[in-house]
Chain A
Amino acid sequence: MRMVGAVMVVASAFYLGHLHARQKERRVLELVALLAGLQLLESEVVFGRRLFADALSRVAEVGGEASPFFAAAAQSSRRGEPAARAWESALRAWRRQAQLLEGDWRPLTRLGAVIGVTEAEDQARHFHMARVEIEGRLHAAREQLPKATRLYRALGLSMGLVVVIFLY
């Protein structure tokens, strides 16, 4: 019985560590999806000259981790909300479920303030700035990912073992 309890404690602690590691992995996936989405949105806006709501819908249709964000922004924009407000409310909604860090949101917030309201060349400049910043954050996140996931899983396992040692 004791043995079963010890195994359960270790497994639970390992699972907690694994969940943390998964969050880190999801952040990377979200950053990748966000970058791809922004690239497609830029192309729809700058080259396709599609209306903002239509451009967002196209990006949302492609799917991926960032799809809920683009879909929510498209929906608000279609309802007639100004672009900045549609973008901001979609960011707020996505924030509740996404694993991005505080700094990851900043380029998106800055982009939201100008999106749709200037000419194509200026839009391209703002998209580029946002993408460069997110690319930098993605690069750093990818570099840290193997170490971080190993660390969280090992930490979970170790914590489980420590608890078992203390209990028994």
Chain B
Amino acid sequence: MANMAALLPPKSDLSQVLSYFPSHLAAAISLLPRELSETVYEIRVNIGKPLLLHALQGEFFITPGGPSQDAGEAIVVSHDDLIHLLDAVTASSVYALADAMREGFLPLPGGHRVGMVGEVRTEGGEVLGFRHVSGLNFRLCRPVFGIGRSVMRALIKPGGGIFSTLIVAPPAAGKTTLLRDLIRTLSYGAPELGIRPHRVGVADERGEIGGGFRGVAQIDLGPRTDIIELCPKRHALKMILRGMGPEVLATDEIGHPQDGEAVLDAVLSGVSVICTAHGASLDELYGRPSLRPLLEERIFLRTVVLSRRLGPGTLEQIGRGERK
């Protein structure tokens, strides 16, 4: 078992995100000591609540004098602060980003994302959009290079290709980070591991794998990687398969029954597929009707289980696609 996040120092580009903040909030966050600012992965901004950030070292409230563990001293976010932020992250174009906002988040340059909460407008059970946004959660992108190498050796086929692989992990345990690094390693190739460069197709339904901003991936996924983003993965997988001739397909968070069918189609056409799924263990996935057939048919000949036990990216198990 290894803590993959510890293999390389993860650094976040906080200044890029702070450019959206009102000056008084940005100034207070800028007082973070360097070792803390480099590991920030979330900043939570909710009207009437203390300004809060999460770093690998823990949770901190932001006071005018810097970080503190005391919520009472923290800067309380005002309505104007939130309006300023919303205006900045949408480039004053809420009307143009309504579709993305309906999904609950907006992509930002640099691969960062901002999640939204508030009062939602619905009709017939469908979400139409936000009537009022009351809170934002800035999730900083921290690409971690090289974490997939410890896993990659177990995924290589004797002939040089790779096995179809399912990465299983609970939220925030590093499955997308690992997926990105596997994609990148395959796309560039890794002669030291005996991996030649591969053509990789990525179905990035939520824009999270490539950190896409206006159609351009903000995170390096390698020179032979084709990405379709913000498209239902069942369509995107087929489109890449037909149009781009990939050797490996990758996608995040499969769960819908039609996702399973698209994965099955890809595997049957001879392409290796790397997917992630939410879950604490393989057994948990057997309980899901959408994933059970894929597991029973042994579509994935390798399974990688991650957890947060020793921090994000704790490698719990690499299996051969069989139930224990």
Residues of A within 8 A of B (CB): 45-46, 49-53, 77, 80, 82-84, 86, 115-120, 122-123
Find out whether the CB atom of A82 lies under 8 angstroms from the CB atom of B94.
no
Alpha-carbon separation in the docked complex, A82 to B80 (Å): 12
Interface presence of B98 (CB below 8 A)? yes
A-B pairs with beta carbons under 8 A, tally: 56
**CB closest chain-B residue, reference A48:** B96
Listed by A's residue number, 20 A-B pairs whose Cβ atoms lie within 8 Å are A46-B95, A49-B96, A50-B93, A51-B91, A51-B92, A51-B93, A51-B96, A52-B91, A52-B92, A53-B91, A77-B91, A82-B92, A84-B87, A86-B92, A116-B87, A119-B94, A119-B98, A120-B98, A122-B95, A123-B95
Other than the known A45-B93, A51-B92, A116-B95, what 4 A-B pairs have Cβ atoms closer than 8 Å? Answer: A117-B92, A119-B129, A120-B98, A123-B95
Interface presence of B86 (CB below 8 A)? yes
**CB closest chain-B residue, reference A46:** B95
Size range of the chain B interface in the assembly: 10 to 19
Alpha-carbon separation in the docked complex, A50 to B84 (Å): 20
Find out whether the CB atom of A45 lies under 8 angstroms from the CB atom of B95.
yes
**CB closest chain-B residue, reference A49:** B96
Interface presence of B230 (CB below 8 A)? no
Chain A residues positioned under 8 Å from B19 (CB to CB): 80
Within B77-93, the residues touching A (CB, 8 Å) are 83-84, 86-88, 90-93
The 7 closest A-B pairs by CB, nearest first: A83-B92, A116-B92, A120-B95, A52-B92, A49-B96, A82-B87, A51-B93
Find out whether the CB atom of A115 lies under 8 angstroms from the CB atom of B92.
yes
Chain B residues positioned under 8 Å from A123 (CB to CB): 95
Chain B residues positioned under 8 Å from A80 (CB to CB): 19, 88
Alpha-carbon separation in the docked complex, A111 to B303 (Å): 56
